[in-house]
Structure 1
Amino acid sequence: MRAGDSFTMLNRGKTSFDAETFRLLYLPIIGTDAFALYQMMLSFSTGRISHFLEYLNLGLNPFIEALDRLSALSLVRVYDDHSSLYFEVKSPLNFENFLADDFYRQLLISRIGENRVTALAKTMEPKGKEISKKFHEVYKVNFDREATPNQSLKENQFDMGAFKSLMERQGYRLSNENQDSLTLYSLAEKFELNWYELFKQAERTANADKSLNMNHLIRSLSATSQPQPALSEFPKVFADLIVVSKAHEPDEFIRQIKAQAGGFVSSDEHKILANLTRQKLPAEVQNILIHYVLVQQKNASLSPNFVNALANDWMRNKVFTAEAAVKRILEREEQATAKAKTEVTKHSTKIKKEAPKWSNPDYENKTSQEELAKLEKIRLDSLKKLEGEQN
Structure 2
Amino acid sequence: MMPIDTFRYVKNNQTSRDLDNLTQLYQPIIGNDAQALYLYFQSFFDNGNYDHKVTDILNHLQFGAPRLNEALDFLTAMGLVALYQTVEGVYLVKLNSPLDREHFLAHAVYRKLLEARIGEVAVKELEYVLPQDVTNQSKRFSDVFGHVEKSASAKTVMSSAVQFDLESFKRLMQRDGLFFKDEQADVVTLYSIAERYHLNWFDTYQLAKKTAIDGEIAPKRMVKDRQNETQQTTTTSFTESEQALIREAKSSAALPFLEKIKQTRRAVVTSSEKQLLKDLAAMSFLDEVINIMVLYTLNKTKSANLNKPYLMKVANDFSYQKITSAEEAVLKMRSFTERKKSPSKQAKPKTKTNVPAWSNPDFKDNTTPEMQAKLDSQKQGLLEKLRKAGE
Same fold (TM over 0.5): yes
- The equivalent of 1:362 in structure 2 is none
Decide which moves more: 348-357 or 192-201: 348-357
Distance in structure 1 (CA, Å) of the matches to 2:127 and 2:81: 26
- The equivalent of 2:238 in structure 1 is 235
- Aligned partners of 1:276 and 1:286 also within 8 Å: no
- Among all aligned residue pairs of Structure 1 and Structure 2, give the percentage whose two residues are the same amino acid: 28
1:299 to 302, 310, 318: 302
- Aligned partners of 1:158 and 1:185 also within 8 Å: yes
The reply on whether 1:61 has 2:66 as its aligned counterpart is yes
Distance in structure 2 (CA, Å) of the matches to 1:143 and 1:188: 31
Matches within 5 A, 1:1-391: 1-42=1-42, 43-44=44-45, 45=48, 46-81=51-86, 83-125=89-131, 132-133=138-139, 135=141, 138-139=144-145, 141=147, 145=151, 147-153=153-159, 156-208=162-214, 210-212=215-217, 214=218, 217-218=219-220, 221-222=223-224, 225=227, 230-236=233-239, 237-249=241-253, 263-267=264-268, 269=269, 274-279=274-279, 280=281, 282-293=286-297, 297=300, 299=302, 301-305=304-308, 308-309=311-312, 312-313=315-316, 316-317=319-320, 318-337=322-341, 341=344, 344-345=345-346, 348-352=347-351, 370=385
Give the aligned residue type for 1:265.
R
The secondary structure found in structure 2 opposite 1:92 is: coil
The secondary structure found in structure 1 opposite 2:169 is: helix
- Aligned partners of 2:3 and 2:54 also within 8 Å: yes
**Cα deviation per residue 1:189-232 (whole Å; 9 max; x = unaligned)?**
34544433433443355454x443x5xx3256247626757353
Extract unaligned runs of 5+ from structure 1. 358-365, 374-391
- Aligned partners of 2:273 and 2:306 also within 8 Å: no
Distance in structure 2 (CA, Å) of the matches to 1:325 and 1:256: 20
Distance in structure 1 (CA, Å) of the matches to 2:237 and 2:286: 20
Give the aligned residue type for 1:31.
G
- Aligned partners of 2:197 and 2:226 also within 8 Å: no
Give the aligned residue type for 1:70.
L
Paired residue total:
352
Give the aligned residue type for 1:58.
F
- Aligned partners of 2:276 and 2:308 also within 8 Å: no
Extract unaligned runs of 5+ from structure 2. 357-378
Give the aligned residue type for 2:340.
A
The secondary structure found in structure 2 opposite 1:232 is: coil
The secondary structure found in structure 2 opposite 1:86 is: strand
Give the aligned residue type for 2:173.
M
Distance in structure 2 (CA, Å) of the matches to 1:299 and 1:126: 70
Over aligned residue pairs, what C-alpha RMSD do you find? Answer: 3.8
Change (3 A) 1:311 1:170: farther
Distance in structure 2 (CA, Å) of the matches to 1:138 and 1:306: 71
The secondary structure found in structure 1 opposite 2:83 is: strand
Give the aligned residue type for 2:248.
V
Distance in structure 1 (CA, Å) of the matches to 2:170 and 2:127: 21
Change (3 A) 1:337 1:13: same
Change (3 A) 1:184 1:257: closer
Change (3 A) 1:320 1:277: farther
The secondary structure found in structure 1 opposite 2:168 is: helix
Q: How far off its partner does 1:87 sit?
A: 1.6
Q: How far off its partner does 1:270 sit?
A: 5.9
**Cα deviation per residue 1:47-89 (whole Å; 9 max; x = unaligned)?**
1111212222232222222111111112112223463212222
Change (3 A) 1:129 1:63: closer
TM-score by length of 1: 0.73
- Aligned partners of 1:29 and 1:107 also within 8 Å: yes
**Cα deviation per residue 1:338-365 (whole Å; 9 max; x = unaligned)?**
6x63xx34xx2243456798xxxxxxxx
Q: How far off its partner does 1:186 sit?
A: 3.1
**Cα deviation per residue 1:123-150 (whole Å; 9 max; x = unaligned)?**
3549888665555565561566454341
- Aligned partners of 1:6 and 1:49 also within 8 Å: yes
The secondary structure found in structure 1 opposite 2:94 is: strand
Distance in structure 1 (CA, Å) of the matches to 2:266 and 2:313: 20
TM-score by length of 2: 0.73
- The equivalent of 1:388 in structure 2 is none
Q: How far off its partner does 1:309 sit?
A: 3.9
Change (3 A) 1:234 1:265: farther
Give the aligned residue type for 1:246.
K
Give the aligned residue type for 1:68.
D
Change (3 A) 1:156 1:191: same
Structure index of larger Rg: 1
**Cα deviation per residue 1:9-31 (whole Å; 9 max; x = unaligned)?**
12443434423222221122222
**Cα deviation per residue 1:277-309 (whole Å; 9 max; x = unaligned)?**
3332543234323543556x4936344347644
Distance in structure 1 (CA, Å) of the matches to 2:176 and 2:168: 12
